[in-house]
């Protein structure tokens, strides 16, 4: 039998991530974990309900350059078998995306490193 490659339907996979059981509180905690892993010791959360729900988390972590941000926005960006440093809380590279997609359809990440501002967005 000849092997065949079956690629996932990424659009459907991402939509499936929206229904994996995150509560709002757990989703926010997952994002805060990322801030702590990036060395943040000052985390501010802003949220409004009207006219449309909006949630923003700001921190003073190390930030990400363009390539790091692209990788952070990639699904399953980490190899779970690789050794992590002692403060790293994430293992699979899914937390930012699964936590965000469980609560919203648009995720925007703005990061500053070495005086360069980098912005990437997922829009389901």
Partners of residue 75 on adjacent β-strands: none
| 10 contacts: CB under 8 Å, gap ≥ 6 | 75
Residue 35 in tokens = 């801030």
Question: Which residue, 65, 77, 76, 79, is CA-closest to 109?
Answer: 65
Per-residue pLDDT of the chain (124 residues), as tens digits, is 889 988 888 778 777 777 777 899 989 998 998 899 899 999 999 999 999 999 999 999 999 999 999 988 887 766 666 776 665 555 556 778 888 888 988 999 999 999 999 999 988 8
Nearest-angstrom CA–CA distance, 25 and 119: 25
This prediction has a pTM of 0.78
């Amino acid at each position: 039998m000849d092997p065949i490659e079956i690629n996932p339907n990424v659009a459907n996979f991402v939509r499936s991530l929206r229904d994996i059981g995150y509560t709002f509180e757990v989703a926010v905690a997952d994002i805060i974990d990322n801030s702590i892993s990036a060395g943040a010791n000052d985390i501010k959360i802003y949220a409004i309900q009207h006219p449309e729900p909006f949630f923003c988390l700001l921190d003073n972590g190390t930030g990400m350059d363009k390539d790091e941000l692209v990788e952070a926005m990639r699904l399953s960006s980490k190899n779970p078998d690789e050794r992590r440093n002692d403060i790293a809380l994430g293992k699979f590279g899914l937390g930012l995306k699964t936590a965000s997609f469980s609560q919203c359809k648009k995720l925007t990440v703005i990061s500053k490193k070495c005086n360069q501002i980098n912005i990437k967005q997922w829009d389901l």
